[in-house]
Amino acid sequence: MIESAAQAARAIREGKLTSEEAVQSCLQRIRELEPKVQAWQFLDAEHALAQARALDERKRNGEPLGLLHGVPVGVKDIIDTADMPTENGTALHKGRTPREDAAVVKMLRGAGAVILGKTVTTECAYFHPGKTRNPHNPEHTPGGSSSGSAAAVSAGMVPLALGSQTAGSVIRPAAFCGVHGFKPTHGLIPRSGILLLSRTLDHVGLFARSVEDIAVLLETLQGHHDLDPDTLPRARIPFRDLAAEEPPLEPMLAFIKTPHWQRTDADTKEAFQELVETLGAQVEEVELFPSAADAWDWHRTIMEADMAANLEPLWSKGAAKLSEKLRALLERGRETRALDYQRALRRIAPAVDSLDELFMQRYDAILTAPALGTAPKGLGATGDPVFCSIWTLLGMPAITLPLMRGENGLPLGVQLVGRKGYDARLLRTARWLEKKVGA
């Protein structure tokens, strides 16, 4: 099993491991666990091995090697791949074969990664579950919508995977599956070639088993793309180096319970109480600004209106083939007033400004729960994104760390949220926190 992508990349570079061996190791793990976990929507072992052999050949020829040369990566099945189907989790896109790779897939290939296969998504990255189960207990949901990516990384089938988050689709499944999940600042990673739900809310997200691996992947995927109007041409940020630095001062965390804390389960309340005690003077409880209580409504209004507009082709061609839950969302979205939609959109910038003050004054990151508790039992639902949607709305970077466990033995995550645009500092703070609690 490939534990760390960064280590595997080093070993390949130094000739101690071949990409073919790395892929074989992943395939072996998949053969063992896939019958139970069901993380993959599409996987052609021969095609993965062919990519690996070509990369090994390039290394033997002395060609320059990318950051992820030879390392296998799983890709959520709403992200277009030119050499594998991309079905967006809906029967309406069965057998859909894009002509072009998504921008992030091109970036991965440019860095030398092996696209191992496509991971299961819920229907159109919304709530209706796919087939995937939680690797820690197959009777529990892996969370969604990036269910397969979270489960595959958790089960050791692949060291890295890509997902997406429009509400809580990266942070929640990562927490439920006990892996690292990261959602960058809005606009840092281009979304061209990925099923569009909402320009304002959609983010590419990352799954890995360490902060270091998140940093390697983020360094690879940052960038401008002409077809993503929210990305900008800018200097590349050396996320690996910055994340590895020691903080110049011991970080301060703002523990924000949000108006939804009373809904968290007993495990979460207890675990966070202990964590706050452990952190002592480095954490302070902080209240959100008063109108933040409405942020969940703003998020819902924007998501419903945008999904109704962006999924209109699906709606027109086959509303009857959509799940009841998605159909209901689209029906609500079709009736959303432009006035309410615009009102919600214009709340984002002032809310980000309010939170900026928190970071400028005193804090390095916000500390909060990633979900209501451990992964709920049952496979009919993927859990509640309530602890993510406000940070998604505001486009702030967020990471969940698998630092705790519930009474039932299932993982409990710790979510850190950073200042918008300060992703490297968030990763640095996350590493500090892991050391601090002895992870």
List residues binding a second copy (CB under 8 A).
305-306, 308-309, 312, 333-343, 346
Distance CA 402, CA 158 (A): 17
Rounded least distance, CB 338 to a second copy, Å: 4
325 classed as catalytic: no
CA nearest to 122, candidates 168, 60, 63, 64: 168
By CB neighbour count within 10 A (0-12 exposed, 13-18 middle, 19+ buried), where does 41 fall? buried
Per-residue DSSP letter, 409 = S
CB neighbours of residue 199 within 10 Å: 15
- The interaxial angle of helices 19-37 and 147-154, nearest 10 deg, is 110
Instruction: Compare residues 83 and 230 and give the one whose CB is closer to a second copy.
Output: 230
Nearest to 205 by CA among 192, 221, 216, 193: 221
Q: Which of 196, 190, 166 is nearest to 310 (CA)?
A: 196
Crossing angle of the two packed helices 324-335 and 295-310, in degrees rounded to 10: 100
CB 336 → a second copy: shortest distance, Å? 4
Annotated catalytic residue, options 4, 169, 192, 389: 169
What sign for the dihedral angle of Cα 277, 279, 280, 284? Answer: negative
For residue 269, indicate whether it is catalytic. no
Smallest distance from the beta carbon of 236 to a second copy, in angstroms? 21
Cis peptide upstream of residue 323 (ω within 30 degrees of 0): no
Closest approach of a second copy to the CB of residue 345, in Å: 9
Interatomic CA distance for residues 119 and 43, integer angstroms? 9
Q: Rank residues 97 and 342 by Cβ distance to a second copy and give the closer one.
A: 342
* Residue 356 C-beta: closest distance to a second copy, Å: 17
Q: Which residues pair with 432 in a beta bridge?
A: none
* For a second copy, the closer CB: 55 or 314: 314
Greatest C-alpha distance within the chain: 61
User: 395-404: string of b/e by CB count within 10 Å (b at 16+)?
Assistant: bbbbbbbbbb
Instruction: Report the SS3 class of residue 144.
Output: coil
Q: How far is the CB of 417 from a second copy (least distance, A)?
A: 26
Question: Which two three-digit tokens encode residue 113?
Answer: 């990664």
Smallest gap from residue 237 Cβ to a second copy (A): 22
Bridge partners (DSSP) of residue 253 are 283, 365
Of the residues 4, 25, 59, 76, only one is catalytic, namely 76
Q: Which is the catalytic residue, given 4, 19, 25, 145? A: 145
Residue 421 neighbours by CB distance under 10 Å: 17
**Minimum distance from CB of 258 to a second copy (Å)?**
26
Distance from C-alpha of 153 to C-alpha of 73, rounded to nearest angstrom:
9
Does 76 participate in catalysis according to the annotation? yes
Decide whether 308 or 414 has the Cβ nearer to a second copy: 308
Residues taking part in catalysis: 76, 145, 169
